[in-house]
A and B are shown apart, each in its own frame.
Chain A
Amino acid sequence: MTAKNGSATATRVKASDPTDQLPRDLLSREEYLELFRQLYLARYFDVRLIKEKKKGRLTGTLYSSHNQEAVLVGSLFGLRPNDWISPIHRDMPAFFMKDLRSGWDNPDRMGMSIEEVCAQVWCKVGSPGRARDNWSHIGKKDKHIIHSTSMLAGTIPVAAGVAYADKLDGGDTVVVTFNGEGSTAQGVFHEAINFAAVHKLAVVTIIENNQWAYGTPTHLGYPLEDYARRADGYGIPGFIADGQDVFDVYDKVMQAVAWGRSGKGPSIVECKTFRAYGHGDHDDDRAAKYRPQDEVEQGRSRDPIAIAKKVLLEKGYITESEATLYQAEGKSAGQTTDEDFPPEVVAYLKRGVDYALKSPAPAAEEGERWVFRV
Chain B
Amino acid sequence: MTNMTYREAVRLAMIEEMDRDQNVFIMGEDIGKYKGTFRVTDGLFERYCQEPRDWLVEPPHPEILDGVGRRVIDTPITEPGIVGMATGAAMTGLRPIVEMMTMSFSILALDQIINHAAKIHYMTGGQISVPLVIRGPGGAANQLSAQHSHSMEGWYAHVPGLKVVAPATPNCAKGMLKAAIRDDNPVIFTENPGLYSMKGDVSDNVDEIIPFGKARIAKEGKDISLIAYSRMVNVSLAAAELLAADGIDAEVVDVRSLLPLDTETIYNSVRKTHRAVVVYEDWKSGGFGAEIAARIAQDCFDDLDAPVGRVGGLNVPMPYARVLELQCIPNEQDVLAEVRKIG
Contacts and interface: CB of A to CB of B under 8 A. Distances in A.
A368 B314 contact: yes
Contact of A151 (B34, B56, B108, B316): B108
B56 A123 contact: no
A132 B321 CA distance: 7
A367 B327 contact: yes
Contacts of B69: 220
B303 to A, nearest CB: 35
Contacts of A365: 327
Given A131-B319, A132-B320, A134-B320, A150 B81 contact: no
Interface stretch (B5-13, B142-150, B333-341): B142-150
User: Which one of B29, B145, B147, B327 has the highest number of Cβ atoms from chain A below 10 Å of its Cβ?
Assistant: B145
B81 A187 contact: yes
Contact of A134 (B58, B104, B145): B145
A290 B77 contact: no
Interface in B46-64: 55-61
B321 A123 contact: yes
Given A150-B148, A187-B80, A223-B60, A364 B323 contact: yes
Contact of B59 (A123, A183, A223): A223
B34 A216 contact: yes
A59 B146 CA distance: 16
B317 interface: yes
B81 A185 contact: yes
Nearest to B81: A187
B68 A220 contact: yes
Q: Which of A60, A134, A137 counts the most B-chain CB atoms under 10 A from its CB? A: A134
B319 A367 contact: yes
B23 interface: no
A225 B58 contact: yes
Interface string A202-225: 000000000001111101111111
A371 B323 contact: no
A205 to B, nearest CB: 15
Contact of A215 (B34, B61, B68, B317): B34
Contacts of B29: 214, 216
B315 interface: yes
B147 A152 contact: no
A133 interface: yes
Kindly name the residue among B29, B34, B107 whose own CB sees the greatest number of chain A CB atoms within 10 A.
B34
B174 to A, nearest CB: 26
A151 B104 CA distance: 9
B145 A219 contact: no
A359 interface: no
Interface string A350-374: 0000000000011011111001000
Given A60-B143, A219-B59, A150 B104 contact: yes
B115 interface: no
Contacts of B280: none
A60 B105 CA distance: 20
B254 interface: no
Q: Which among B37, B59, B322, B328 has the greatest number of chain A C-beta atoms within 10 A?
A: B59
A132 B146 contact: yes
Contacts of A223: 59-60
Interface string A221-235: 111110000000000
A13 to B, nearest CB: 26
A220 B56 contact: no
Contacts of A59: 143, 322
Interface string B300-336: 0000000000000011110111111011100000000
A371 B147 contact: no
Contacts of A132: 145-146, 317, 319-320, 324
A58 to B, nearest CB: 12
A293 B261 CA distance: 51
Given A150-B148, A213-B77, A215-B33, A362 B321 contact: yes
Contact of A131 (B68, B148, B316, B324): B324
A96 B226 CA distance: 50
Given A216-B34, A367-B328, A361 B321 contact: yes
Nearest to A224: B59
A295 B105 CA distance: 31
B66 to A, nearest CB: 12
Contacts of B92: none
A336 B315 CA distance: 45
B343 interface: no
B282 interface: no
B321 A131 contact: yes
B62 to A, nearest CB: 11
A164 to B, nearest CB: 22
B80 A149 contact: no
B33 A151 contact: no
Contacts of A222: 76
B74 interface: yes
Given A187-B78, A224-B59, A366-B324, 12 more contacts: A132-B319, A132-B320, A133-B146, A133-B147, A133-B319, A185-B76, A216-B29, A216-B30, A219-B57, A220-B74, A292-B55, A371-B317
6 contacts: A59-B322, A134-B143, A185-B81, A213-B77, A215-B30, A219-B58
Which 9 pairs between the two chains have the least Cβ-Cβ distance?
Answer: A215-B34, A185-B76, A150-B147, A215-B30, A367-B324, A290-B33, A221-B76, A131-B321, A134-B320
